[in-house]
Amino acid sequence: MEGKMKVAVMEGIGEMGFVERDIPTPDKDEVLIKLEYVGICGSDMHYYEHGAIGDYVVEPPFVLGHEPGGVVVEVGEDVTHLEVGDKVALEPGKTCGECEFCKRGDYNLCPDVEFFATPPIDGVFQEYVAHEADLAFKLPDNVSTLEGALMEPLAVGFHAAFQGDAKIGQTAVVMGAGCIGLVTMMALKAMGLKEVYVVDILEKRLDKALELGATGVINGKGEDAVAKVRELTAGKGCDLAIETAGTEMTTRQCIKMTKKGSNIVLVGYSNSGEMTLPMSLVLDKELTFKTVFRYKHKYPIAIDAVASGKVDLKGVVTDIFELDDVQKAMDYSVNNKQDVVKAVIKIGD
């Protein structure tokens, strides 16, 4: 397909603009996608506010966005499993396929991954993208491209649940009711856990957690979350705690509220990158820590969970902005973090 497309670019810290670029031509193993929705992730906001995340530094003009859903409009000659008109969710990381991590299936740990919106790789706040066909997952008829865009965070939630070895019959607690906390809660419920509690300090987010299926919620600002979990579990503590807030305090609470021999999964990144934890208690309880870096092999699971009605992804979305309003979208998302659970950019009609 020949022609030009509109691309939203980060021109500097807190500054968005537009450029016109050629519509890409897909390679023989790629498909060309007309994007319809792209989620705004916390990492997008961090790059927008600060210009860097650790060693990843934005060099403007840079394209944000790594949570895309859209429709196939052109198919490479070697692609057989997709057709023009298919709705797809795109997994945003292209890995090398040759390193030890890729070969053993842990491709999320590939050191040479090219991941949308991770400098120097541009993201997808734009009208079209050419992407490896094996990373384009066809959506069933009853799943929209809006939901397709949110498969990326849901994949994180399922990866967290799998890392924690979540099982039917367990009681789990999710610390944090932002987007990742909510999709983790929904992933746990989809996997058959009936007792999943969510802790946060913002009532709006806790209300959203109840709306989306949490067994109960705890306002950590108004009550002792550890004591409340013990009360809810007849003094036993929870079987699994998943930390998505990225704070030392909530990580300490996970250690205190879990049973002996339990799993704790760390998902949230702390601002400092360092924590001081009660390791004597960790040893006494023989707790197992697992961590999460993106996901692996989770898109098919996420798509099936949404298609079967086990996960309400649309319910996570609180704000939708047009591509033309990308400056407003980023400013609003950054300045209203207490109210925004998930903001999405709508691209095109």
SS3 assignment, position 238: strand
- Give the model's confidence band at 94: pLDDT under 50 very low, under 70 low, under 90 confident, else very high: very high
Helices marked H in the chain: 42-50, 100-103, 145-149, 151-163, 179-190, 203-211, 225-232, 248-257, 279-285, 299-307, 326-335
Q: What share of the chain in percent tops pLDDT 90?
A: 96
Per-chain mean pLDDT for the chain: 97
Instruction: Check whether residue 50 and residue 76 sit in a common domain.
Output: yes
- Assess whether pLDDT exceeds 90 at residue 37: yes
CB 345 within 8 A of CB 6: no
Confidence at residue 327, expressed as pLDDT on a 0 to 100 scale: 98
In a domain? residue 296: no
Instruction: Check whether residue 12 and residue 137 sit in a common domain.
Output: yes
CATH number at residue 328: 3.90.180.10
Which residue, of 291, 306, 337, is where some domain finishes? 291
Number of structural domains found in the chain: 2
User: Among 287, 271, 258, which Cα is nearest to 199's?
Assistant: 258
Instruction: Check whether residue 335 and residue 262 sit in a common domain.
Output: no
Beta-carbon contacts of 128 under 8 Å, excluding residues fewer than 6 positions away, are 1, 5, 23, 24, 32, 33, 34, 35, 73
Instruction: Check whether residue 213 and residue 257 sit in a common domain.
Output: yes
Cα–Cα distance, 120 to 299 (Å, whole number): 25
Confidence at residue 269, expressed as pLDDT on a 0 to 100 scale: 87
In a domain? residue 62: yes
Confidence at residue 57, expressed as pLDDT on a 0 to 100 scale: 96
Confidence at residue 270, expressed as pLDDT on a 0 to 100 scale: 82
Instruction: Check whether residue 27 and residue 111 sit in a common domain.
Output: yes
Place of tokens 């193993």: 29
Q: What share of the chain in percent tops pLDDT 70?
A: 100
Instruction: Check whether residue 145 and residue 167 sit in a common domain.
Output: no
Could you tell me the pTM of the whole model? 0.96
CB 68 within 8 A of CB 21: no
- Assess whether pLDDT exceeds 80 at residue 115: yes
Confidence at residue 328, expressed as pLDDT on a 0 to 100 scale: 98
User: Cα–Cα distances in Å, from 297 out to 108, 137, 182, 247?
Assistant: 9, 11, 20, 28
193-213 confidence digits (pLDDT tens): 999 999 999 999 999 999 999
Confidence at residue 273, expressed as pLDDT on a 0 to 100 scale: 81
Instruction: Check whether residue 167 and residue 125 sit in a common domain.
Output: no
Residue that wins the pLDDT comparison between 337 and 345: 345
Cα–Cα distance, 339 to 140 (Å, whole number): 31
Instruction: Check whether residue 245 and residue 164 sit in a common domain.
Output: yes
Mean pLDDT along residues 328-348: 95
- Assess whether pLDDT exceeds 80 at residue 348: no
In a domain? residue 111: yes
152-188 confidence digits (pLDDT tens): 999 999 999 999 999 999 999 999 999 999 999 999 9
- In the chain, the amino acid numbered 6 is K
Is the link from the previous residue into 61 a cis peptide, with omega within 30 of 0? Answer: yes
Helices marked H in 109-178: 145-149, 151-163
Place of tokens 């019959």: 169
Q: CB count, 10 Å around CB of 28?
A: 10
Beta-strand pair 56-57/258-266: unpaired
- Give the model's confidence band at 121: pLDDT under 50 very low, under 70 low, under 90 confident, else very high: very high
Instruction: Check whether residue 108 and residue 181 sit in a common domain.
Output: no
In a domain? residue 312: no
In a domain? residue 219: yes
Instruction: Check whether residue 145 and residue 9 sit in a common domain.
Output: yes
Instruction: Check whether residue 141 and residue 9 sit in a common domain.
Output: yes
CATH number at residue 242: 3.40.50.720
Mean pLDDT along residues 42-64: 94
What's the gap between Cα 326 and its chain centre?
20
Confidence at residue 129, expressed as pLDDT on a 0 to 100 scale: 98
In a domain? residue 306: no
Confidence at residue 281, expressed as pLDDT on a 0 to 100 scale: 98
Residue 340 lies in domain: 4-150+317-346
- In the chain, the amino acid numbered 216 is G
217-241 confidence digits (pLDDT tens): 999 999 999 999 999 999 999 999 9
Instruction: Check whether residue 123 and residue 193 sit in a common domain.
Output: no
260-292 confidence digits (pLDDT tens): 999 999 999 887 789 999 999 999 999 999 999
- Assess whether pLDDT exceeds 90 at residue 1: no
